[in-house]
């Protein structure tokens, strides 16, 4: 076979050699060597670099030769030009040999090379392809990093592993696992593939928890060593990414180590399907080791041409099976298509008028004197043009629509998800780059808008290793068989939450019951043992307990552990199973209603101001009314009584005196409104005082506590201390640690004056227990933090997630409440409905009303004064002529005042047509003197004022 291809190649060479020799003899170093000036060449050399003695290599050789034959016999492609393929055996995993082999192939002036088989070789010879500008078309080197800009002449004619790894990440995410173990051959293919898997998992918030690399082609012993490490890890989801030849061996060793049992998940990359396809029909032996494994196969849609190719394949392989069968794998199909892609590209290349030419690389040519003869390899001058034509190919091949996207990947990459069952395989769904996992063939999805929503991701039922259909949990407790060491705070006080049962290694209490109920809800057994933490003298610090998880002393912590910021930085917490914010407790006095309770609604100030206003309004109404209204007349003593009686009877809206003047009614109206409000406020306040039990405490909540200077108690070892200092800003010197509830009780009873504490700050859950037997204290103010208690686990612990779900379930079905009531319901002394003393109503709430009322009085008085003045100047001088010569101001004022008194009487008596025996009313000497002295008159003038009339 090798000989034959050499002969084919020489056909071209014979025509080339004379020209080459001529050029060399002329001493021209790098002149263009033109193959054929006039027309399209009769043949084009392509190389095939593969390991033909591997099963994949055998398939590829058959497929490529069949394709070349089909292309050459099809006049519609490449016309009369024939493809000539030179085969070159590739030594896998031997980089240096591969380089030599590639150079040998390129010395035959190939325009493109199909191959190599492995990604490792591809990395090496891509450098040569770059240098000589010969496109390298590979369908089996699937390492995603080969698509990098570093290798512009590497062209992949199958799907990149980037998509396969995305598919695996989607699978892991679909089944709800968070961590996987990567087992791979430590070469470019394995390492870069797993690197991509790590990236894709990270995008889905999953990760590779353990990487287990192996020597490529590792022996059974080496594989065993690695797999034993894998078995010790926490995760049970294993992704296997190796080569076709060697991967099944890993699975065989795994089977022998018992790692194909219930609980394990194996996801194998497409090496396994390739193996199964080549070996088909499968024997019982072939599938025995891999029951329940999930694997992927590059998806090739069903089509007429594919069916044609499958039947053609049977004819091709008849008699060619050396050892074993040659089933058709996807590599065979992609190999066949690759030749067609190249033919189409060359067709376009020639149709565009391009020619094939080679020239010396000046640097390599400079080495010609050496024994290496590297000058024999030449640069393909039009390599870039050919590469461009390849990327522009748009054809329908056996593998479906063949076209490149702008980033150099084939369009619509998709995989079949295969589950190995019995002696065969079962397709459980598809993965496509377009819409993820589905049970519908991808080509049917391309017509719909892409939908990657999780509701749309579907697969059929999987039969897992161990023959179960139940989805494996995906992880186990590490260090098989060892019990989880669960730290439990050794509480001294409030042992209802957690306490050790004397003489046993058992624990009881609210927190323990919640934990046990939650663990019971898990679908798997959790082996654990409780270990007490603390010195037994005082309550241990829960922060320290959580810190010991990070130190590896405990595997978890269960107890009354408040979820605080500091602690969540160290460990993962479950959902809180009880809410517990901080509250302030202070001693309270019960104020029983006493004989003087009726006075309590108003503050003394309020009482005083109210009383003053009653008198004031009475006086104002009297001033406004008494000239017109008989009710307000009479002897001064009677008038005084009337004023008092009138004003206080308004309190009950029971005043009998009529108001006749507009101003008087105005003032009274406003006043009655004020009285209405004061009345109802008083009633409401008094009702609440008399009917609700009152507690009184000088501390009203955390605010009044912050502002005071008195000592505050807290539970020793609790996070309260840090919280009060850092968040609330309470001075450290004010904080007093309390060891036991008894100590707290004593300190609270003593009070701050006698060296005790003014208040005690702790979590509500403890306080409820504390108060259940202590009636002299009460929670004052609001809960000022919102915390909860949870169980602590190491970071990323899957058990924390499952327990959270279990706790929510407990909360929803009411069990959590029942456990709470069992341990913590002691409301004997929690005086329900009792509340802290209501504040007395003070002036602040009413001054607006009083202001309005006061203003109304002043306004009314001013208007009254103004009206009277006007009347005086209109009528006064005529009717009451003062004695002549006595025109001084004082006498005028006197006259005016008497006018005020008399004029109205006259008017009134006239209007009422009723005789009133009237005794002239004079201003008192005191009033008179004060007025005159105010006005600056001499004291002597007061002598001239008439003495007050006797009544």
Ligand X SMILES: *[C@@H]1O[C@H](CO)[C@@H](O)[C@H](O)[C@H]1NC(C)=O
Site for ligand X in 458-477 (CB under 6 A): none
Q: Which stretch binds ligand X (CB under 6 A): 48-56, 453-461, 465-473, 817-825?
A: 453-461
Q: Kindly report the backbone phi and psi dihedral angles of residue 469, in degrees, each rounded to the nearest multiple of 5, phi listed first.
A: -100, -5
Q: Judged by CB, which is closer to ligand X: 394, or 938?
A: 394
| Min separation Cβ 579 and ligand X, Å | 36
Shortest reach from residue 433's CB to ligand X, in Å: 4
Pick between residue 169 and residue 617 the one whose CB is nearest to ligand X: 169
Pair type for strands 136-138 and 112-114:
parallel
Nearer to ligand X, 74 or 203 (CB): 203
Measured from the CB of residue 338, what is the shortest distance to ligand X in angstroms? Answer: 18
CB of 400 to ligand X, least distance (A): 10
Place of tokens 């325009």: 111
CB 456 to ligand X: min, Å: 4
Residue number, 318 or 455, with CB nearest to ligand X: 455
Q: Could you say which residues in the range 412-451 bind ligand X, by CB under 6 A?
A: 412-413, 433, 449, 451
Six-digit token string for 583: 């509250």
| Residue 158 φ then ψ, to 5° | -145, -170
> What Cα–Cα distance (Å) separates residue 704 from each residue in 630, 700, 716, 736?
58, 6, 23, 18
| 453 scored as a contact of ligand X (CB under 6 A) | yes
Euclidean distance between CA atoms 136 and 199, whole angstroms = 27
Q: Which CB atom, from 164 or from 244, has the smaller least distance to ligand X?
A: 164
Residue in the block written with tokens 């890890």: 233
Interaction between residue 173 and ligand X (CB under 6 A) = no
Residues 815-834 touching ligand X, rule: CB under 6 A, are none
For 376, list phi and psi in degrees, rounded to 5: -70, -25
| CB of 439 vs ligand X, minimal distance in Å | 12
CA 311 to chain CA mean position, Å: 55
Q: How far is the CB of 446 from ligand X (least distance, A)?
A: 10
Spatial neighbors of 38 by CB under 8 A, at least 6 apart, are none
Q: Between 453 and 753, name the residue whose CB sits nearer to ligand X.
A: 453
Residue 63 beta carbon to ligand X: minimum distance, rounded to whole angstroms: 22
User: Cis (ω within 30 of 0) for the bond into 657?
Assistant: no
Binding residues for ligand X, total number by CB under 6 A: 13
Contacts with ligand X, 336-375, as mask; x by CB under 6 A: ----------------------------------------
Closest distance of CB 176 from ligand X, Å: 18
CB under 8 Å to 576, separation ≥6 — which residues? 563, 787, 788, 789, 790
Indicate whether 568 belongs to the interface with ligand X (CB under 6 A).
no
Per DSSP, the residues of 652-694 read: GT---S---SHHHHHHHHHHHHHHHHHHHHHHHHHHHHHHS-E
CA distances from 944 to 5, 881, 932 (A): 155, 17, 11
Q: For the segment 786-805, give every residue that binds ligand X (CB under 6 A).
A: none
**Shortest distance, position 440 Cβ to ligand X, whole Å:** 11
Least Å distance between CB 449 and ligand X? 6
Extract the tokens encoding 823. Answer: 């341990």
- Record the tokens describing residue 97, joined without a space: 């040999």
Nearer to ligand X, 453 or 480 (CB): 453
- Of the candidates 31, 21, 191, the one whose C-alpha atom is nearest the C-alpha of residue 118 is 191
Q: Which of residues 477-496 bind ligand X (CB under 6 A)?
A: none
- Binder among 149, 455, 551, 654 for ligand X (CB under 6 A): 455
> Considering only residues 6, 91, 456, 817, which one is a binding residue for ligand X as defined by CB under 6 A?
456
Of 459 and 779, nearer to ligand X (C-beta) is 459
Of 435 and 574, CB closest to ligand X: 435
Q: How far apart are CA 658 and CA 632, in angstroms?
A: 9
Q: Which residues of 570-595 are buried (b: 16+ CB within 10 A; e: fewer)?
A: bbbbbbbbbebebbbbbbbeeeeeee
- Chain residues 380-409 in contact with ligand X, contact rule CB under 6 A: 394, 396, 405, 409
Nearer to ligand X, 33 or 411 (CB): 411
Among the candidate windows 357-365, 372-380, 410-418, 876-884, which touches ligand X by CB under 6 A?
A: 410-418
Our CB check for ligand X shows the closer of 315 and 453 to be: 453
Determine contact, residues 522/806, Cβ cutoff 8 Å. yes
Residue closer to ligand X, measured from CB, 453 or 565: 453
Spell out the long-range contacts of 254-261 with Cβ–Cβ below 8 A and sequence spacing 24 or more: 254/227, 254/289, 255/288, 255/289, 255/290, 257/224, 257/227, 257/228, 257/231, 259/227, 259/230, 259/231, 260/289, 260/290, 260/291, 260/292, 260/465, 260/466, 261/465, 261/466
The least CB distance from residue 393 to ligand X, in Å, is 9
Q: Residue 81: CB partners within 8 Å, gap ≥ 6? A: 40, 41, 42, 43, 44, 346, 350
Report the residue number, 455 or 654, with the smaller CB distance to ligand X. 455
CA distance 158 to 148: 16
Min dist CB 434 to ligand X, Å, is 7
Q: List residues bridging with 761 in a β-sheet.
A: 584, 714
Residues making up the chain, counted from first to last: 951
DSSP alpha helix (H) spans, 502-603: 510-521, 542-550, 565-568
CB of 424 or CB of 450, closer to ligand X: 450
The DSSP line for 357-381 is EEEE-HHHHTTTTSTT-GGGSEEET
Which is closer to ligand X, CB of 310 or CB of 411? 411
Measured between alpha carbons, how far is 7 from 118 in angstroms, rounded to an integer? 28
- Nearest C-alpha neighbor of 354 from the set 380, 393, 376: 380
Residue 162 CB, shortest distance to ligand X, in Å, is 9
What is the nearest approach in angstroms of ligand X to the Cβ of residue 412?
6
Nearer to ligand X, 119 or 409 (CB): 409
Site for ligand X in 912-931 (CB under 6 A): none
Spacing of C-alpha 88 from chain mean position:
56
Least distance (Å) from ligand X to the CB of residue 317?
A: 30
CA distance 526 to 517: 12
Binding site for ligand X (CB under 6 A): 394, 396, 405, 409, 411-413, 433, 449, 451, 453, 455-456
């Amino acid at each position: 076979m090798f000989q034959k291809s050499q002969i084919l190649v020489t056909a071209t060479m014979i025509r080339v050699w004379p020209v080459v020799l001529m050029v060399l003899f002329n001493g021209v170093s790098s002149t263009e060597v033109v193959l054929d000036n006039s027309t399209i060449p009769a043949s084009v050399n392509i190389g095939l670099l593969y390991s033909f003695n591997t099963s994949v290599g055998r398939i590829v050789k058959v497929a490529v030769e069949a394709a070349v034959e089909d292309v050459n016999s099809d006049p519609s492609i490449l016309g009369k030009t024939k493809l000539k393929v030179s085969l070159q055996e590739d030594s896998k995993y031997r980089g240096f040999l591969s380089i030599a082999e590639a150079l040998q192939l390129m010395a035959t002036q190939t325009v493109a090379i199909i191959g190599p088989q492995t990604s490792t070789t591809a990395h090496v010879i891509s450098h040569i392809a770059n240098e000589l500008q010969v496109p390298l078309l590979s369908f089996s080197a699937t390492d995603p990093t080969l698509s990098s800009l570093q290798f512009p002449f590497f062209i992949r004619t199958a799907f990149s592993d980037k998509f396969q790894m995305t598919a695996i990440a989607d699978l892991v995410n679909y089944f709800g696992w968070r961590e996987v173990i990567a087992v791979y051959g430590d070469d470019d293919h394995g390492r870069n593939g797993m690197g991509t898997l790590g990236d894709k998992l990270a995008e889905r918030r999953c990760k590779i928890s353990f990487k287990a690399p192996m020597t490529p082609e590792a022996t059974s012993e080496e594989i065993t060593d690695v797999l034993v490490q894998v078995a010790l890890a926490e995760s049970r989801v294993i992704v296997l990414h190796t080569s076709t030849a060697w991967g099944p061996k890993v699975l065989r060793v795994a089977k022998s180590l018992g790692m194909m049992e219930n609980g394990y998940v194996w996801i194998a990359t497409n090496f396994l399907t390739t193996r199964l396809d080549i070996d088909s029909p499968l024997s019982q032996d072939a599938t025995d080791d891999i029951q329940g494994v999930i694997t992927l196969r590059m998806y090739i849609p069903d089509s007429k041409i594919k069916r044609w190719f499958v039947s053609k394949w049977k004819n091709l392989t008849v008699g060619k099976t050396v050892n074993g069968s040659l089933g058709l794998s996807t590599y065979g199909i992609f190999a066949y298509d690759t030749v067609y892609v190249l033919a189409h590209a060359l067709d376009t290349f020639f149709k565009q008028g391009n020619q094939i030419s080679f020239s010396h690389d000046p640097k390599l040519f400079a080495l010609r004197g050496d024994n290496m003869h590297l000058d024999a390899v030449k640069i393909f001058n039009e390599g870039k043009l050919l590469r461009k034509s390849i990327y522009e190919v748009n054809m329908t091949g056996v593998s479906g629509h063949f076209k490149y996207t702008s980033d150099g990947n084939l369009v619509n990459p998709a995989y079949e998800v295969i589950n190995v069952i019995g002696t065969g395989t079962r397709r459980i769904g598809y993965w496509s780059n377009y819409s993820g996992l589905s049970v519908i063939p991808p080509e049917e999805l391309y017509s719909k808008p892409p939908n990657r929503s999780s509701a749309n991701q579907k697969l059929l039922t999987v039969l897992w290793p161990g023959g179960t259909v139940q989805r494996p949990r995906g992880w186990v407790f590490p260090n098989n068989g060892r019990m989880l060491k669960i730290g439990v705070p050794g509480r001294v006080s409030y042992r209802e939450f957690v306490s050790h049962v004397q003489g046993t290694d058992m624990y009881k209490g609210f927190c323990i019951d919640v934990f046990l109920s939650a663990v019971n809800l898990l679908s798997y057994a959790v082996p654990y043992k409780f270990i007490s933490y603390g010195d037994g003298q005082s309550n241990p610090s829960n922060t320290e307990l959580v810190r010991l998880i990070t130190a590896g002393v405990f595997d978890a912590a269960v107890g009354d552990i408040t979820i605080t910021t500091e602690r969540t930085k160290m460990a993962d917490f479950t959902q809180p199973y009880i809410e517990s914010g901080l509250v302030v407790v202070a001693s309270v006095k019960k104020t029983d209603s006493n004989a003087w309770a009726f006075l309590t609604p108003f503050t003394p100030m309020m009482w005083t101001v109210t009383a003053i206003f009653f008198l004031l309004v009475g006086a104002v109404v009297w001033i406004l009314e008494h000239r017109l209204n008989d009710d307000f007349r009479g002897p001064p003593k009677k008038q005084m009584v009337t004023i008092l009686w009138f004003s206080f009877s308004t309190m009950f809206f029971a005043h009998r005196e009529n108001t006749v003047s507009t101003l008087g009614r105005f003032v009274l109206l406003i006043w009655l409104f004020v009285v209405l409000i004061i009345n109802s406020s008083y009633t409401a306040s008094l009702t609440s005082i008399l009917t609700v039990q009152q507690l009184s405490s000088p501390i009203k909540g955390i605010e009044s506590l912050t502002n005071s200077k008195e000592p505050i108690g807290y539970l020793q070892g609790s996070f309260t201390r840090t919280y009060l200092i850092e968040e609330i800003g309470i001075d450290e010197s004010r904080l007093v640690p309390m060891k036991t509830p008894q100590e707290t009780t004593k300190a609270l009873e003593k009070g701050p004056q006698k060296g005790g504490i003014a208040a005690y700050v702790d979590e509500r859950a403890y306080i409820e227990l504390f108060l259940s037997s202590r009636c002299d204290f009460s929670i004052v103010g609001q809960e000022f933090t919102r915390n909860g208690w949870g169980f602590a686990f190491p970071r990323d612990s899957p058990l924390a997630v499952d327990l959270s779900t279990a706790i929510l379930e407990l909360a929803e079905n009411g069990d959590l409440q029942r456990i709470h009531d069992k341990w913590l319901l002691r409301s004997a002394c929690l005086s329900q409905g009792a509340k802290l003393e209501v504040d007395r109503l003070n002036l602040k709430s009413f001054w607006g009303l009083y202001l309005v009322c006061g203003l109304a009085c002043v306004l009314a008085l001013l208007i009254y004064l103004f009206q009277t003045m006007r009347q005086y100047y209109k009528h006064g001088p005529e009717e009451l002529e003062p004695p002549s010569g006595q025109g001084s101001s004082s006498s005028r004022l006197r006259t005016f005042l008497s006018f005020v008194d008399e004029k109205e009487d006259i008017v009134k008596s006239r209007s009422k047509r009723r005789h009133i025996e009237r005794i002239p009313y004079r201003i008192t000497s005191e009033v008179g003197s004060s007025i005159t002295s105010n006005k600056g008159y001499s004291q002597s003038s007061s002598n001239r004022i008439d003495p007050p009339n006797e009544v």
